[in-house]
Amino acid sequence: MALDFDGLVRVVLKLFGLVLAVYGISTLAAYAPLVLSSSGALQLLNFLSGPAVFIGAGLFLWFFPAPISNTVIRGGGEQGEESVWVARLVEAGSVLIGLWLFVVAISDLVFQLLAERSQAERLPYEQGPSEFGAYVSATLVELALALFLIFGARGIAVLVRRVRYGGLETSRRQ
């Protein structure tokens, strides 16, 4: 049974989803002492938010790889067969790196927002220096980079092909 490119991308997305879910579960185990000592529901939600994003994204990719592969990774090109595979694999790799950064950024953003809210509830009248703005700004830059990698994957693949093959339409040098 031959595996076409779309089938290969779906298998890779499923495996990537499995990696995300396992990472989230292993991170959840690291939070167990904090969860057991936590008294407030908001603190419990804060501790569980990061791993929950990883687990949720991983399960989504495991059970629904087709929407990602159909929407983000589009087929086609009229170059030589080897060049098309290389370009499409670069595109798929860019999307996977972008998805990883996206999940990490969303997890960080949720954690930071809940941590800031929890700190504001515990210390309502103290106005000390806060790194919240810097953390959120860095996370938003990370989120923008992730979205660029996800939705700009085709452009990245074209750029890599031009750099690699000197702008030629095929991978064979003349």
Name the residue with higher pLDDT: 162 or 127: 162
What would the mean pLDDT of 127-149 be, rounded to a whole number? 80
User: pLDDT digits over 62-119, tens only?
Assistant: 888 888 777 766 555 444 555 566 677 778 888 888 888 898 888 888 888 887 777 7
Q: What does the longest C-alpha to C-alpha distance in the chain come to?
A: 73
Average pLDDT, the chain: 75
Q: pTM (2 decimals)?
A: 0.57
User: pLDDT digits over 30-77, tens only?
Assistant: 666 666 665 566 667 777 777 888 899 889 988 888 887 777 665 554
Name the residue with higher pLDDT: 145 or 127: 145
Burial of 27 (0-12, 13-18, 19+ CB in 10 A): middle
Q: For 99-161, give the secondary structure using H, E and C.
A: HHHHHHHHHHHHHHHHHHHHHHHHCCCCCCCCCHHHHHHHHHHHHHHHHHHHHCHHHHHHHHH
What would the mean pLDDT of 121-138 be, rounded to a whole number? 71
Any idea of the CA torsion for 14, 19, 21, 27, to the nearest 10 degrees? -170
According to DSSP, residue 171 is labeled S
% of the chain exceeding 70 in pLDDT: 69
Non-local CB neighbours of 61 within 8 Å, separated by 6+ positions: 13, 14, 16, 17, 20, 68, 99
Q: Which helix (H) or strand (E) holds 166?
A: none
